[in-house]
Amino acid sequence: MTGEPGAGVPGLTREGRRLAVLLAMAMFVLVVDTSVMNISIASVVHDLHTTVGGVQSAIALEALVSAAFILIGSKVGDLIGRKRVCGRAGAYNRRGSPRLSRPAAPD
């Protein structure tokens, strides 16, 4: 066995290891996001004047939608290429982020 990581896994290239690390990082972000939301349930319930069940449902739905987008994005990346998918996602993000960050119109 050599000291190189992944050397014992047959067929795992450098690019495959890089992809595995990226996927692990994405899952880490999802887990941290869900954990932080679960920790802050009490203050969210108080601030929004809602129930704990409602907030837990919203957290579960958000995690489910995030996982679905990960699956859809990976399939689209396999079909048309990851560079094109990342480029288009970046373009949508650049256009959409300023719109979402604007304050709401006063009533």
Question: Do residues 38 and 59 lie in contact, with contact meaning Cβ atoms separated by under 8 Å?
Answer: yes
The structure's pTM equals 0.56
Average pLDDT, integer, range 41-57:
89
- Angle among Cα 80, 86, 91 to the nearest 5 degrees reads 115
Q: How do residues 23-48 score in pLDDT, each as one tens digit?
A: 888 888 888 888 888 888 888 899 88
Helix (H, G, I), strand (E, B) or coil at 38: helix
- Residue 85: per-residue pLDDT: 78
